[in-house]
Chain A
Amino acid sequence: MIPSAPLTVDPLGAAIALVFTTLIVILLGWMLWVPRPVARSVAMARSSVGGVKRILVPLEWGVTSDRAVELACRLGREQHADIYLACIIEIPRTRALNAPLHEAEAEEARQTLKFAEQIVRLSRLRAVTMIERSREASEGIIRLVNEVKPDLLVVGLPPLYSTVQGLVGMIALETILRRALCEVIVSKMPG
């Protein structure tokens, strides 16, 4: 028969006992709390959006593209997607495509990217900026899609269907929808 030790309460020992018991209870409680299973259709819907890790936003149509950037950030926030911001500069056919940009053009592009980048930073996402020159915006966007390989392309459109600018936008959009090898979301402002 082994005699018991005398009853002594060491404050440190009591504290260790309390910490130990608390940790075990928390640990086992956390383990036993298992999230509910997800139905296949729900899983498919969730994963199709959750898998979007790289979003490309072409910045061409002025203020409407800022809203497209914000939309892209909201779509990519949960899965910490990278936002690729591409300022598309259309070069007239009267100029060589690789000719230096006019200072005003370059400055405007820099400003556009700067503002868009600020929007992305507010969402605490990573922004990658680039300037793309092309004869037509749609052609430049398709080229970028092939290079950047985004999971999602967010295109902002102005609310001007009845005007010539709106018509050009529609033609460009059709080209993008037809040729882009990724999901495309079009954000058209009402009006």
Chain B
Amino acid sequence: MSEQDGLPQRVSLRRDVSVWGSYMWGFADVGADAFVGLGLVLAAAQGAAPLAFAAAGTVYIMIGLAYTELASAFPVAGGGQYFTQRGLGDFLGFVAGSALMLDYTIDIALFATASAGYANYFLPYFGHSLSEFVVPVGPFTVNWFWLAETLSIIGFLVWLNIRGIRESSAVNEWIGALVILAECVLIAAGFTFAWKSDLVIGQWKTQFPTVNQFMYGSSLAIISFVGLESISQAAQETRRPATIVPRTSIALIFSVFLFATGFSLLANGVVPWQEIARHVDNPLAVLAARIPLIGEAAGPITAMLGALILLISANSGVMSVSRLTFGMSQFGQIGEWFQAVHPRHRTPVRTILVFSGIGVVQTVAAFLTPNALNTLGNMYAFGASLGYILVFAAMIRLRFKEPNVPRPYLMPFNIPLPWRGRRVLFPVLGLLGMGGVAMILAMVVWTHEIGRIAGPAWVAVCLIGYLVYRRKRGLPVLGSVERNWEEDQMRVLEEAEEFELLEQYRNSLASDLRWRSREGGRR
């Protein structure tokens, strides 16, 4: 940032994320969930775990398609918060932003902790065990070694993100490619050499969960939504986002769906679900060890891969929260102070430092509880569900409010409706998706003890801050600041070098204006 005149200089983010980098930002979040969530979902949904993943995946696909439409049409930093603000106004935009902010900071804490946990798999190789490092701190017991590892990881990621998106994106790309390759090998080898259809059918028939267990399992599987947001967050730094984002987003949605259902089906066909449930900390390692031919090496390799994928997932959290808050700052929802961009690396340095710092606080607080991972995971789904409901509502509203904006990708299943003298496509799937996510939010509030208290409390605290800031600045609290979205859209498309879309947009606006003025003249 240059502050020669005492004011932060408005510098745009560098467009440096390639097609593979964009995909990997998303995969970093979603791919990691298989390493953490498979055991939890199997423990809850038992013989019906593949069905739980498929049910959650259906809603997840709808969310993904909505994000694909919005991120390709509005390729700016901010993701769900920006879409909600543009569609539903400043206040609801902030609500969505605060919910997603919670998720990303938890994301940093949760995945950095889990990554360190996987790394601890190798402690016995050095003659140590994790329990050696537990010390009493007042009324609490803390594993100082695990905590120190986690904080070191967060520190490393902060440094990496301040250095620039190219560097952090490159880390994602290399590690992600390795993880995808390994996951493909595990699934292909597992199904070919170890999978037994009789075992799947037997577990389905005799180990089917109750409705409540199934719902709980589905709500855990839903956690993987958060990865989708990362592609939107990186859209402002993606080269030719309107062309690349729909491809990476759709590829992510379906590849993750394939991996999630594939692993759950594989697990139910290789071992009884109870065996995976006993190793909730490391379910994939257990599963991999069971695969003939590759089983012996699978334990350490899976642990290493788990640590790596969880590391880049935490990296996605740092990237996403910094871009989200950078965008919110630009729109007057949080202080202008956060708009500062590093003069050399052109990264939002202050948002990276402050919100990663919140992640550090959450990590330390979680380590004071008996089970840090469980505490963090409990809060994870609340923010995502709340944010996604608002994103669906914004997507529907924007179809009517800004029909001129070119949409390189349109959600399927639309009903044409006449609206103010033009034809607007109403997204039926968007409405269904909103209902689906609302059900998930209800399940989360019903079943997640910490999430139902801490989640709304976080949003409430953020809203108080918003109220104070807006009043101090003399901005409307419940209303919205007047903005020229059309000019903003043209600038974004121009910067992204999406000239074809820019011309489409200009033509559409000009045509609209011409006929509107003509209509006015005739009256």
Contact = CB atoms under 8 A, between A and B. Distances in A.
Interface of A: 1-10, 12-14, 16-17, 20-21, 23-24, 27-28, 30-32, 34-35, 37-40, 42-44, 46-48, 50-51, 146, 149, 151, 181
B247 interface: yes
A6 B292 contact: yes
Contacts of B332: none
Contact of A51 (B196, B254, B511): B511
A51 to B, nearest CB: 4
Contacts of A16: 191, 195, 262, 265
Contact of A24 (B250, B255, B291): B255
Contacts of A47: 500, 503-504, 507
B515 A149 contact: yes
A34 B19 contact: yes
30 contacts: A3-B295, A4-B296, A5-B271, A5-B290, A8-B194, A13-B192, A13-B196, A13-B269, A14-B192, A16-B191, A16-B262, A17-B190, A21-B188, A23-B258, A24-B258, A28-B180, A30-B247, A31-B247, A31-B250, A31-B251, A34-B240, A34-B247, A38-B499, A43-B499, A44-B503, A47-B500, A51-B503, A51-B507, A51-B508, A149-B515
B330 interface: no
B367 interface: no
Contacts of A46: 500, 503
Contacts of B457: none
B504 A5 contact: no
Chain B contact residues: over half helix, strand or loop, or mixed?
helix
B192 A17 contact: yes
Nearest to A31: B251
B60 interface: no
B150 interface: no
A31 B503 CA distance: 25
A4 B291 contact: yes
Given A7-B292, A40-B499, A181 B518 contact: yes
Contacts of A48: 503, 507
B187 A4 contact: no
A38 B191 contact: no
B244 interface: yes
A6 B196 CA distance: 11
Given A23-B258, A40-B499, A47-B500, A10 B265 contact: no
A81 to B, nearest CB: 13
A8 B196 contact: yes
A151 B515 CA distance: 11
- Looking at B194, B254, B265, the one whose CB has the most chain A CB atoms below 10 A away is B194
A9 B196 CA distance: 8
Contacts of B180: 24, 28
A106 to B, nearest CB: 29
B504 A37 contact: no
Nearest to A15: B191
B514 A13 contact: no
B148 to A, nearest CB: 29
A43 B193 contact: no
A68 B452 CA distance: 66
A28 B255 contact: yes
Contact of A20 (B188, B290, B507): B188
Nearest to A53: B511
B207 interface: no
Contacts, number: 129
Given A13-B196, A20-B184, 8 more contacts: A2-B299, A4-B194, A7-B193, A10-B196, A27-B255, A34-B240, A35-B243, A51-B504
Nearest to A33: B247
B195 A13 contact: yes
A43 B501 CA distance: 8
Contacts of B504: 47, 50-51
B295 A4 contact: yes
Contact of B290 (A2, A37, A43): A2
Contacts of B454: none
Interface in B227-253: 240, 243-244, 247-248, 250-251
B22 to A, nearest CB: 9
B286 interface: yes
B502 interface: yes
A20 B286 contact: no
A13 B191 contact: yes
B522 A146 contact: yes
A20 B187 contact: yes
A27 B522 contact: no
Nearest to B510: A51
A9 B500 contact: no
Nearest to B193: A7
Contacts of A38: 499-500
A98 B514 CA distance: 30
B61 to A, nearest CB: 13
B270 interface: yes
Contacts of B292: 4-7
A32 B508 contact: no
A151 B499 contact: no
Contacts of A13: 191-192, 194-197, 269
Contacts of A6: 292
Given A5-B194, A34-B244, A43 B262 contact: no
B51 interface: no
A16 B511 CA distance: 52
A5 B291 contact: yes
A159 B171 CA distance: 69
B409 to A, nearest CB: 13
Interface in B450-509: 497, 499-500, 502-504, 507-508
Interface in B242-290: 243-244, 247-248, 250-251, 254-255, 258, 262, 265, 269-271, 286, 289-290
B11 to A, nearest CB: 24
B499 A2 contact: no
A32 B290 contact: no
Contacts of B269: 10, 13
- Looking at A2, A21, A149, the one whose CB has the most chain B CB atoms below 10 A away is A2
Q: Which 9 interchain pairs have the tightest Cβ spacing?
A: A4-B295, A47-B503, A13-B195, A31-B251, A43-B499, A17-B191, A2-B289, A43-B500, A51-B507
Contacts of B507: 47-48, 51
- Looking at A5, A38, A50, A181, the one whose CB has the most chain B CB atoms below 10 A away is A5
